[in-house]
């Protein structure tokens, strides 16, 4: 599974680098505006981990707000695309979030993970590492596919299970089979609560620019969410 995810995103790296920022409304006019509303305007003096950086869009935005950014992605091609975007202004590493992170304890003020965690089957090790490298009171902001949306992609869904889905995405005129996991809402929240305190749970709404460019999908998103955003902070005692 891990190798399949890596290979798929290696193949899609060119699209993420050159077209996703403007062409994919679910990124540009839905997930990203909602996430950025929850990122402090001034990150000067703060060290931020962009966990699952893809082609570096968030890395650049965090830099613009003054942060010292370390960006990581398991796809070598995505990491190279991120390096081209930010040049030498951020540290970009090719790392697997299911492995131990090569960072000292309490070394980051903020962790951001955009649409990445649903590619991991088990969050326990990853969240343990995120908790370890976050400073006391540090923030953890992440987005994932909404569990009630992805369940419709399954022929015989079992809501309370963590289920593998193979979806088909069109990027740059090509079709890609993309694997990811759908997990129930209680698993998303309880796994977070085991390591962090919840600040806010957000089911985002599309922007007016989304409505202007695609009224049909805008109305669909106004009735049923596609993504889920969790805003949390480091717990001092793990339950």
Rounded to whole angstroms, the Cα distance separating 82 from 89 reads 11
Contact of 103 with 48, CB cutoff 8 Å: no
| Helix-helix angle 76-86:2-18, to 10 degrees | 30
Copy the structure tokens of residue 233: 């902070």
Burial bucket for residue 227 (CB in 10 Å: 0-12, 13-18, 19+): buried
Position 100 scores a pLDDT of 97
Decide if pLDDT at 237 tops 70: no
Question: In a 3-state reduction of DSSP, which class is residue 40?
Answer: coil
pLDDT at position 83 is 97
What's the pLDDT tens digit per position in 72-88?
A: 999 999 999 999 999 99
Of the two residues 26 and 21, the one the predictor is more confident about is 26
In the numeric block, the tokens 């599974």 are attached to 1
pLDDT above 90: residue 20: no
Q: What pLDDT sits at residue 238?
A: 57
Q: What is the pLDDT of residue 5?
A: 83
- The pLDDT tens digits of the residues spanning 141-180 come to 999 999 998 888 888 889 999 999 998 988 877 888 999 9
Note the residue count of the chain. Answer: 239
d(CA 33, CA 21): 12
H-helix or E-strand spanning residue 145: strand 134-145
SS3 104: coil
For the segment 177-214, what is each residue's pLDDT rounded down to a tens digit? 999 999 999 999 999 999 999 999 999 999 999 999 99
């Amino acid at each position: 599974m891990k190798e399949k995810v890596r290979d798929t995103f290696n193949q899609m790296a060119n699209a993420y680098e050159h077209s996703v920022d403007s062409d994919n409304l679910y990124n540009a006019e839905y997930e990203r505006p909602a996430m950025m509303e929850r990122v402090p305007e001034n990150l000067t003096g703060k060290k931020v981990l962009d966990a699952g950086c893809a082609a570096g869009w968030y890395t650049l935005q965090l830099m613009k707000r003054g942060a010292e950014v370390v960006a990581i992605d398991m796809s070598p091609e995505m990491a190279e695309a991120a390096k081209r975007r930010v040049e030498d202004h951020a540290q970009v590493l090719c790392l697997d979030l299911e492995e131990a992170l090569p960072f000292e304890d309490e070394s980051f003020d903020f962790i951001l993970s955009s649409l990445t965690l649903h590619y991991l089957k088990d969050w326990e090790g990853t969240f343990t590492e995120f908790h370890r490298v976050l400073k006391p009171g540090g923030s953890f902001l992440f987005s994932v596919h909404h569990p009630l949306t992805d369940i419709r992609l399954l022929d015989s869904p079992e809501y309370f299970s963590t289920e593998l889905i193979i979806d088909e995405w069109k990027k740059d005129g090509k079709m890609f089979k993309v694997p990811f996991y759908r997990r129930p809402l209680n698993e998303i929240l309880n796994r977070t609560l085991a390591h962090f305190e919840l600040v806010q749970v957000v089911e985002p709404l599309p922007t007016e620019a989304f409505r202007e460019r695609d009224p049909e999908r805008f109305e669909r998103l106004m009735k049923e969410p596609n993504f889920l955003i969790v805003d949390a902070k480091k717990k001092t005692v793990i339950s």
